[in-house]
Structure 1
């Protein structure tokens, strides 16, 4: 490997020609003119992108920033409206923390995000990575930004053959070594773009990589095998029942789940507990329940879920009127349930 001081200039020259066009990004040409991405947009995009792909986030980001163009607009939104707008994006604790953070920034900090990673990390839902990304991209602070793409690029650049997650402290140290004082935000985004487009998990395109000459893993012929990851644990499977009650005028029985826990704060249909052994059938009221022909299968971070879907006809107080119910406001799991509950 050449001097690490040569890495960022080569990377930035490539980024200036090949930067992805993203709705939350100020491109390198505009950045050179002194334009900066508003910290609100950096923060919102980074929160949305956690555990989620760029393709999935694009439309959500556009919708959010059209509906709530500033952090104060978001802070003043109704919780239910934000949770409904987030529906389908997953990891719903992010949406709850999004509102908490927006309200701290809007009401306690005068609508201004802190400028340093340390101060940003004190806000609800902002961890080390997100704090560094906001400080770097919005404020040009030389913070070290390490996401999954950066982990992969650094692991290959320095041929780190020990498995993740144990190598993360060393990856962060080495990523810091190659982060420049000049254009740190562009450098961070260039590292992300390189990992997303050329230095991909499988079949990295080394021949087009601006860092090919600097890459120890390429020199050793082991780039495609890095980073090494510890074996994944086998996910357990849990089972349960879910009940879809339809009223005589098309009303639907939905409930808002507790803020804490999976799908916290979202709308959904009543369910049993979820356990390795399927719980007993215990519907929320007596009626003629019919079991749907198709079970619903869904995977969370730590387990697989199989739900037996039951459809019933009846009416109870508090049911949502047909004109007010929208499956689009449901999280992905509950949309699957709704689809499975429809008559064949």
Structure 2
């Protein structure tokens, strides 16, 4: 038996639409090893999940005994391994494991817990909405601060904004900002103007923050300002030439899209209230820049650290 296998207490898994990430964990919540595969829900049938998981974790497992596996993300979706039904808000984040389901397994060395997502029923105050995976990152925040209250943003293709009250999600909203940007940059007339932005460059940062402010202050002009990206490319002689021109216009488009999101998401912030950002460094830095341009302070939490802390909290609650 290897040293890792001897120390292994459980396995953490974040299983999304495109990728599987797994961590071997000891009893104290320390990472012993990690592995990943480009095998997510979109490329798997329910019958494929156990085999795929074993391809990743089999070398970690002892020859006898049962190893718990805590899984968040799309593996618990209706189209995934087995559906772990959404928990309706308000939901305490330290109780996610109560909604977990355990799929039948051929390999008796594993006991898999598929964690649920969260749902929100539409009303006059908020819209129908769902999340799956992000709730575990939010649980990671609560694992560090059990009575956390405040607004949290999880940037991504579909950005999530959640209001937490004393460690529970009271409401949340999803914004299609990342996907909208991709569609506009790749499949609209704007594809002829935008390139790859780089917020390390002053010109891109300035174009980004100016666009954030413009859309935030007048969201009703969003569609008009979108076409303005093309018009600026054709008419604005102050823009740089070559790749730098496309970079500035891409930053401008990104700022318009994120500014539109913030116009909706930040309207309920109290004066002086800050926003906690959970996600990868690049996206969190972009959102922090946008929020700071509006005078809103931020704190940042690494997304991988948050998901591991959330899975650890779920594991501890099943013991």
Q: TM-score range by the shorter chain?
A: under 0.3
Over alpha carbons, which structure has the higher Rg?
1
Tell me the TM-score normalised to structure 2 length: 0.26
The structure carrying a bigger strand percent of its residues is: 2
